[in-house]
Chain A
């Protein structure tokens, strides 16, 4: 049972200007009664405002919006990265983020070692990783390259490795920033099939994208963000039946 809920959430980033980020100026401001360090005023950027969402098993939410409309921030807030200033956030279920699948790759380590590192970073247990190594290796199709340092890989190969590791476990909640399109034509086809397979078994998918066509195809509800607020629901959230 996967569930993510945001109730009336606001997220704002303090933008520490040259002043407030520096302890020295802060101290100077305190010591001189604020005459020198009057620039400690903190600009706050409101990234999200009044966001209420409830996602349950079976929901596929697409997030669209202009650059800077808060798509990524919303995605991260759903992941629990930003505990909201206001409102509440709750989540139930294992989360997997495909926002940056190559995160954590050590270029000097071999492909196999990276399976281990990335697997652990994704919250897998040692024995699970060991058990799925062969399968990951096979799917990636990197063959003997897996014995070599990732430094020797091409960008496409690194993505293939990262993708194979990321999709080797089944998350309950999956977050994606744009669709993952990996590798050459042949691999892309297999990757697409694998991704669909993972998605089919995922409780909740949240996909942020610029492509209206993509979200229309993949999502059952689409929300448009504008200036950090829900501008409108393009496709209203289809309710999933209570289980």
Chain B
């Protein structure tokens, strides 16, 4: 195998750096594409490699997400049931009061509020988390060639697990208030797909952006607080409000609409789908551009 003492086998002399390589056949380029190609292409290849490798490594991000949830409640007696309980407490506290406040029958209001808060929590927590996703993964990313995408999926998976714990509450609520069943419920599937797609893209895009500009996380946090109130999370939008820009220009209104309405037995409005088609398109382009161009530089920033 090795001829340790054979000077004639020298392939590289130390003092003059190795520039004799091109003839060698076994030099397969791994991970990083050949450098002479355009920097743009190089960055995108690097990022797509990262995305593909990370997405495929389901065992890793799923396990990390599971432990994120489980370990947080490990030493408590009720464990992850607390996630469900604290959400239930919030709903029980707000539901009766707000239905009186808004003067809406409880049977209409409570299911609306339940789904509103549950999906809002999911969306806003994912977005807030996505700001720190790569910053928090710095130790990993600087140790070896880790895929950054793994951590984006971990964030989404963790919040999905929380969502799963929360959404259980809708079952007793809908039974109690007799939410009518209709096949419209199937609309929830494309709805969830659109929500997940957008959140995944935003995790990558925002994650990169926040790693570079450290005050974006603050902007997102305060922005989401504001959005919670201008989005029909708690309140029911009146038909007269339909042209209110804060409502129809607000992407979160539509994201909520396409997952909440089906579960309440109604078909989401086509306006929501149309809006989200454009929004998703823009999101896809911007996020892909950010991640595609800047994943290459990410490790330098964190």
Does A92 lie within 8 Å of B26, measured CB to CB? yes
Indicate the size class of the contact surface on chain B: 35 or more
Residue of B nearest to A13 (CB): B300
The reply on B60 being an interface residue by CB < 8 A is yes
Complex interface: stretch among B30-38, B122-130, B233-241, B262-270? B30-38
User: By the criterion CB–CB under 8 Å, are A233 and B15 in contact?
Assistant: yes
CB distance from A145 to the nearest CB of B (A): 17
- Interface 9-residue window, one of A16-24, A131-139, A186-194: A16-24
Cα separation A108 to B71 with both chains bound (whole Å) = 6
The answer to the question of B13 belonging to the interface, with a C-beta cut-off of 8 Å to chain A, is: yes
**A66 close to chain B: CB less than 8 A:** no
Q: Is the interface of A mostly helix, strand, loop or mixed?
A: mixed
Residue A121 lies at the interface, judged by CB distance under 8 Å to chain B: yes
Whether B10 pairs with A239 at a CB distance below 8 angstroms is yes
Cross-chain contact B12 with A58 (CB below 8 angstroms):
no
* A117:B64 contact, CB within 8 angstroms: yes
Whether, in the assembled complex, A43 has its beta carbon less than 8 Å from a beta carbon of chain B, the answer is no
Report which of A24, A84, A87, A109 forms a contact with B215, defined as CB distance below 8 A.
A24
Report Cα–Cα, A17/B18, bound state, in Å.
Answer: 37
The answer to whether A154 has its CB under 8 Å from any CB of chain B is no
Please judge, given known A-B contacts A5-B27, A90-B29, A120-B60, whether A23 and B215 are in contact too, CB under 8 Å.
Answer: yes
Cβ contact of B139, chosen from A100, A120, A239, cutoff 8 A: A100
How far, in whole Å, are A221 and B18 apart by their CA atoms in the complex? 15
Kindly state the separation between the CA atoms of A16 and B215 in the bound complex, as whole angstroms.
13
Which residues of B are found within 8 Å of A106, using beta-carbon distances?
Answer: 67, 71
Of the listed stretches B85-93, B140-148, B174-182, B274-282, chain A binds B140-148
A81 in contact with B19 (CB, 8 Å)? no
> What is the chain A residue whose CB lies nearest that of B46?
A83
User: Which residues between 50 and 96 of chain A lie within 8 Å of chain B, taking CB atoms?
Assistant: 50, 52-54, 56-58, 76, 79-84, 87-93, 95-96
Q: Are B46 and A7 in contact (CB under 8 A)?
A: no
**CB–CB A95/B17 < 8 A:** no
Interface size on A, residues (CB 8 A): 65
Of the candidate stretches B1-9, B108-116, B197-205, the one touching chain A is: B1-9
| Residues on B facing A (Cβ under 8 Å) | 1-4, 6-7, 9-15, 17-19, 21, 26-32, 34-36, 46, 59-60, 63-64, 67, 71, 74-75, 139-145, 212-216, 296, 299-301
A residues lining the B interface (CB < 8 Å): 1, 3, 5, 7-8, 13-14, 16, 21-24, 26, 50, 52-54, 56-58, 76, 79-84, 87-93, 95-97, 99-100, 103-104, 106, 108-109, 113, 116-117, 120-121, 125-126, 149, 175, 220-221, 223, 233, 236-243
Given A58-B2, A99-B143, A243-B1, 16 more pairs with CB closer than 8 A = A7-B19, A22-B214, A23-B216, A53-B17, A57-B2, A79-B143, A80-B31, A80-B144, A91-B30, A91-B32, A92-B28, A109-B71, A121-B140, A240-B2, A240-B3, A242-B11
